[in-house]
Amino acid sequence: MSDEILDVDLLAFEVGTSDQRRAVVDGVTRSLATGFVYTSHDVSDDLLDTAYGMLREFFEKSPEVKQAAAVPGANGQTGYTGLLVETAASSDKPDWKEMLNWSTPVPAGHPLKRTFPTAYPDQVLPEQIVPGITDVLYRFHDTVADLQRRFLRVIAEGIGCHETFFDDMVQDGPTLTRAIRYPAMSELDTTPGFDGKPGHVWAAAHGDINLITALPRATAPGLQVKVNDEWVDAVAPDDGVIVNTGIMLERLTNGRIPVGWHRVVAASGFEGERYSVVQFCHPRPWTMLSPVPSCCTPDTPQRFSAISAADALDEVLYEINLVEGARRIG
């Protein structure tokens, strides 16, 4: 297993020579043995800065104002989610963070929306609270979603599939963008819990459910990734993104590409807050997550049975405490 997170050039795969393409595929394949890779991107700094500015304006509003953007029954798939709600499946202590969630809407009559209404809720963004934010956040979402679709082509070649293997799978998928504010730890009552350990962290250790997650630069350090059982600080380059792998990709690749485990913790002595915007690339809910033949061999027999993407997501939403009518943690 590789113990190094590599930095690769997506554009070299798209416009480079055949040798350059092979080098990118090789680099991504080796790096994703850790569950993580850095890659260049073409998301404009202006769009990223504008999005962060508007998001900060929203998160600085009073709790009552922010709560007006919450969507009952959305289970974290759109609108505002308050502090101490989402809880890592590995923990019984909610994360010290608040979130704004959104996706690109699909038409009301689309079969995906009719069949899977909880995965495609009517989108709610705080336009009346921060005028102009809807256009900016939708443009940001679509730009990063396109980046992830293109990056999945590198992964497809790396696992022995045609480069377009994921294209249809993610078309109109419920890919979710999430803006997260991690307040200063000093704002939290850090009295130890019943187990004698600190009550909360920004985000406890977890793996994402989706295919891949893209994380552009954040406003402060804090992200740590697990490589060879050790936690390593990870900071996206100014002109790049961190890509980490999710549970669905692990299933499709028969474990060849493992889940990228990560957490977010404030450094000792750091007194500030942290903003991050991440995007979770999801396949369409009716996708059957079954290992692809190229990843099943006599030496690596099939590990995972088939499960629909919808069922896999529903299970994880419960585990991370986002199902409002059935909270795992009260």
- Confirm whether pTM is higher than 0.75: yes
Torsion sign (Cα): 116, 174, 286, 75: negative
Q: Would you say residue 313 lies in a domain?
A: yes
Q: How many domains does the chain have?
A: 1
Residue 190 has a pLDDT of 56
Q: Would you say residue 136 lies in a domain?
A: yes
Please answer whether residues 205 and 88 qualify as being in contact, where contact means their C-beta atoms are separated by less than 8 angstroms. yes
Residue 288 has a pLDDT of 97
Q: Would you say residue 326 lies in a domain?
A: no
Q: Would you say residue 147 lies in a domain?
A: yes
Closest CA to 255 of 5, 7, 32, 26: 32
Strand order across the beta sheet in which 79-81 lies: 7-8, 36-40, 240-245, 212-215, 274-281, 176-182, 98-102, 79-81
Residue listed under structure tokens 């929306």: 113
Q: Which CATH number covers residue 201?
A: 2.60.120.330
Q: Would you say residue 327 lies in a domain?
A: no
Q: Would you say residue 2 lies in a domain?
A: no
d(CA 48, CA 45): 5
* pLDDT tens by residue, the chain, 330 residues: 457 899 999 999 999 999 999 999 999 999 999 999 999 888 899 999 999 999 999 999 999 999 999 999 999 999 999 999 999 998 889 999 999 999 999 999 999 999 999 999 999 999 999 999 999 999 999 999 999 999 999 999 999 999 999 999 999 999 999 999 999 998 886 544 444 455 689 999 999 999 999 999 999 999 999 998 899 999 877 789 999 999 999 999 999 999 999 999 998 889 999 999 999 999 999 999 999 999 999 999 999 999 999 999 999 999 998 988 888 887
Q: Would you say residue 328 lies in a domain?
A: no
Q: Would you say residue 250 lies in a domain?
A: yes
- Write out the residue range of the structural domain in which residue 233 sits: 7-319
